[in-house]
Structure 1
Amino acid sequence: MTAFMPVTLRFCDNKTMLVGSVADAAMALRHQWPDKTAPGYLEAARLVRLAVEGTCCPRPAFEAFREAARQQGILVAKPRSRAHEWLDAAASP
């Protein structure tokens, strides 16, 4: 079981990785990203490092990581499952 809802990344070398924890995010940050000098990437790397060390909450670190991946276009979008559609329908008034 992962700590967060897993996300799939497709790096510049066309390799993919499923990331579902801060430890996974730390490994993913070492792969090929389009721009490792981008502010979003640098902030995500800082927060993930702090979360691994235990001085930052994992959730903000993982969210920053996900946002950096989205900004750089390496976050693979997955279609919503039928279960999500069913839950949305059940929750609507």
Structure 2
Amino acid sequence: MTAFMPVTLRFCDNKTMLVGSVADAATALRQQWPDKTSPGYLDAARLVRLAVEGSCCPRTAFEAFIRAARQQGILVARRRSRAHDWLDAAARP
């Protein structure tokens, strides 16, 4: 089981990776990104490293990671399943 809702990334070398934890994110950050010098990438790399060390909230690090992937266009968009809609409806008060 993953810690977060898994996301799929497609790197510059056309390889894909399913990322669902901070440890996976750390591995993904070592792959081929379009721009490893961008502020979003550097911020995500710093937060993921801190989360792995235990001094940063994993959710904050994972969200920064997803934001960086989206900014660089390597996040593979997936359509939400109907199960998500059902769960969202059930969670509403």
Alignment TM-score > 0.5, same fold:
yes
TM-aligned CA distance change 1:89 to 1:13, over 3 Å = same
Gaps of 5+ in 2: none
Unmatched tracts of structure 1, length 5 or more: none
Compute the TM-score of the two structures, normalised by the length of structure 2. 0.92
SS at match of 2:33: coil
Equivalences for residues 41-52 of structure 1 within 5 A: 41-52=41-52
SS of the equivalent of 2:41 reads helix
Sequence identity (%): 87
CA distance in 2, matches of 1:11, 1:35: 11
Q: Give the TM-score, by structure 1 length.
A: 0.92
- What RMSD in Å do the two structures reach over aligned CA positions? 1.6
For residues 6 and 84 of structure 1, the distance between their equivalents in structure 2, rounded to whole angstroms, comes to: 13
Q: Helix, strand or coil for the counterpart of 1:4?
A: coil
**Aligned length in residues:** 93
CA distance 1:60–1:90, change in 2 (3 Å): closer
CA deviations 1:6-60 (Å, max 9, x no partner) are: 0000000000000000000000000000000000000000000000001111000
The 4+ residue runs of structure 1 with deviation greater than 2 A are 84-92
In the other structure, the counterpart of 1:7 is 7
Partner Cα distance (1:90, 1:3) in 2: 21
